[in-house]
Structure 1
Amino acid sequence: MPLRLLALAALLLTPFLAAAQAVAPAPAGSVTQLEAVTVSGVQPGPGLWQVRRGDHVLWILATLSPLPEKMQWQTADVERAIAASQVVLGAPTAKIDTKVGFFGKLFLLPSLFSARKNPDGARLVDLVNADDYAKWQALKAKYIGRDGGVERWRPLFAALELYRKALKKSDLDSKTSVTDTVRGLAKRHNMQLTKVAYHVEMDDLRGAIKAFTRSGPNDLECFHRAVTGLEIELPLIRARANAWATGDIDALRTLPPDGARQACLNAITEAGFARQLGLNDLPARVRDTWLAAADKALAEHPQSFAMLPLEALIGPDSTLGQLRARGYTITAPDEVPADDAPEAAVPAAATTSSR
């Protein structure tokens, strides 16, 4: 990621791009039924969704973070699909374009990093209610340790840091990139990963930072969901990672929705600075950018390969519903006939480590 985007993307887009993949609390009694151990060793991954119109097909791989830290992903099926495709689409992203030069970026870095702090030197204890702060102190001691600096962060960023450290201690890896693996497989077959990005023009980066500081997210709900639900949600996050690794599509369909993550996303997209900068409908714009790229790929190529975040592939509001409304036939991985699977000359034993 270019230097000018490094910190600002973390400020604006982290909840949308899902470092933590937090989920809503499950119904009472359901947590004890979840697998308590994070899977390891060679795993098949989630399989591929098929989108078809006539004799043109698009294979879609679900992306997810975090994934099991010690997993080795069996990538042979994915590589077969890539090898037989004419285009490989990346997962949808947002890119912030700014005209700030190199030295301007360097001068702006202190402002970028300070924007995650509370205005006027406020501490978490000054902003959140007493019950939430007591839970925060206990969880911080368990997962973060003695870090006084985080006490001055905005509640949203403190919540994300808590999730990041908790995931690490749960043998879950949020740094593993499915996109990087797909890019490497495409390169092996002399193909480039086609980026699918919605571009946000931001000529006044300094003004954007000031807008964030002045009217940043009302992130108390995000913080509340984090500290009250973390230890309920961790088994669910692990279960989702295990289900992705083992290709358990039924489990991926039935696990609860990402409620805490949605609370943090809402804190960003509904904030005054987001509306001022035209970012309040960013998720929809990113989705529409991907849909346009998928339409183009299906129209122009007999076979294409693409990636989508898991939440865009399951549930009533999935992006697949948008494709189905366009007249495409959608087939889930557990419904694709064996004789309709991707074929190409790829060694069956190909694996990729999650590290």
Structure 2
Amino acid sequence: MRRLAILATAAALFTTPAHAQTAPGLDDPEANVVEALVVAAKLPGPAWWKISDGDTTIYMLGVLQALPQGQAWDTSVLDHRLDGAFAVILPPEGRAGIGDLPAALALRGKLKADAPLDASVGDLGPKLARARATLGKKPDAYNGWNPLGAGIMMAGDYRKSVRLEPAEPERAIGRLARKHGLKPKPAATYKVMPLVKTAVREHSREAGLICLEGVLDEINAGPEAARAAARAWTRGDVRGAIAGPRNFQRCLLALPGMADLERRGTQDEVEALAAAMKTPGHAVAVYGIRSLVARGGVLDLMRARGFVVSTPE
């Protein structure tokens, strides 16, 4: 799923990240993939899967959480499959309203700290210094934040510096769908502030450090791995696409409730797809590519329900 509610909305509230390599021991719903689903596409552009029964077919497009700004991709197959589709199903999304702004601002106080950041990060000091230098920041740039707050701020700065666009490719998909007279709808919507409050207020010091380390590792590794995954995605190379960095996942999965939220999103996507299978014809659906091919992921669960799942080959 799009790095759904918590950090996707925190991006609007605090400025945050979108991608993520998990730390050992964390509860990671996407840790293992179904190898039979990880194949290379034959058609132009990104990989598609098909979910079908007797009279309905859903064309399933796996997407990345963000693309490098200006990354082109072949939309010809998408354009063809949108023609005559009865629906376009997007991943579940988190929503926050203008009324949530005071609560968001209040939560910033929970991310603050009196001690200098370097004094509270222990062995992460060298990684922190290197990451600050990479971002062109002064040694005291993130003082005043606790490890989680610093991780959020640094992730936002990094995303801007490498020009990652978290609205893509879904924005392009939505634009093309509307040209076909279709209104894309998310599989589910969640109120985000309760999730954000729990994650920020109840996270442990260890979770904050795990979060910060994931962000630091992503920054220090540089942008090429993410760019390579994006290039692989554009040519339908599923294995290359899912091999991209997942360091920010450490942050997400260390926070209270996030692993459960990932599973909830997958289940809600499955329910939306199963409901669509009751309508004859064809539809288009979009979901995070790793979540699609994960063991216990969307395609695995749809197959378990008796639907036929065809791979991109």
* SS of 2:203 mapped into structure 1: coil
| Alignment match, 2:261 | 282
Residue 285 (structure 2) pairs with residue 306 (structure 1): yes
Measured against aligned partners, the alpha-carbon deviations of 1:1-55 in whole angstroms (never above 9, x if no partner) come to xxxx99993189999xx93423369xxxxxxxxxxxxxxxxxx531321111123
User: 1:60 deviation in Å?
Assistant: 1.2
Mean Cα deviation higher: 174-183 or 306-315: 174-183
Give the conservation status (yes or no) of the 8 Å contact 2:20–2:250.
no
Q: Amino acid of the residue matched to residue 243 of structure 1?
A: A
Residue 184 (structure 2) pairs with residue 184 (structure 1): no
* SS of 2:88 mapped into structure 1: strand
| Alignment match, 2:307 | 328
| Alignment match, 2:58 | 58
State the aligned residue count: 287
Question: CA 1:213/1:321 → structure 2, altered by over 3 Å: closer, same or farther?
Answer: closer
Given the alignment, which residue of 21, 24, 27 partners 1:23?
21
Question: CA 1:177/1:132 → structure 2, altered by over 3 Å: closer, same or farther?
Answer: same
Give the conservation status (yes or no) of the 8 Å contact 2:88–2:183.
yes
Given the alignment, which residue of 267, 275, 282 partners 1:296?
275
User: 1:86 deviation in Å?
Assistant: 0.4
Give the conservation status (yes or no) of the 8 Å contact 1:68–1:242.
no
User: 1:89 deviation in Å?
Assistant: 0.6
Give the conservation status (yes or no) of the 8 Å contact 1:60–1:305.
yes
Question: CA 1:153/1:292 → structure 2, altered by over 3 Å: closer, same or farther?
Answer: same
User: 1:199 deviation in Å?
Assistant: 2.9
Give the conservation status (yes or no) of the 8 Å contact 1:20–1:160.
no
Question: CA 1:141/1:64 → structure 2, altered by over 3 Å: closer, same or farther?
Answer: same
Question: CA 1:228/1:180 → structure 2, altered by over 3 Å: closer, same or farther?
Answer: closer
Measured against aligned partners, the alpha-carbon deviations of 1:135-188 in whole angstroms (never above 9, x if no partner) come to 211211221423845332232343344344445544x52334222212111211
- Backbone CA RMSD of aligned residues: 3.5
Given the alignment, which residue of 206, 211, 224 partners 2:213?
224
> How high is the TM-score relative to the length of structure 1?
0.69
Whole-Å separation in 1 of the counterparts to 2:187 and 2:14: 18
User: 1:239 deviation in Å?
Assistant: 1.8
Whole-Å separation in 2 of the counterparts to 1:13 and 1:54: 45
Question: CA 1:180/1:283 → structure 2, altered by over 3 Å: closer, same or farther?
Answer: same
Question: CA 1:105/1:265 → structure 2, altered by over 3 Å: closer, same or farther?
Answer: closer
Residue 118 (structure 2) pairs with residue 125 (structure 1): yes
Unaligned stretches of 5+ in structure 1? 26-43, 336-355
* SS of 1:265 mapped into structure 2: helix
How much identity, in percent, do the aligned residues show? 23
| Alignment match, 1:36 | none
Whole-Å separation in 2 of the counterparts to 1:126 and 1:92: 39
Given the alignment, which residue of 260, 266, 271 partners 2:253?
266
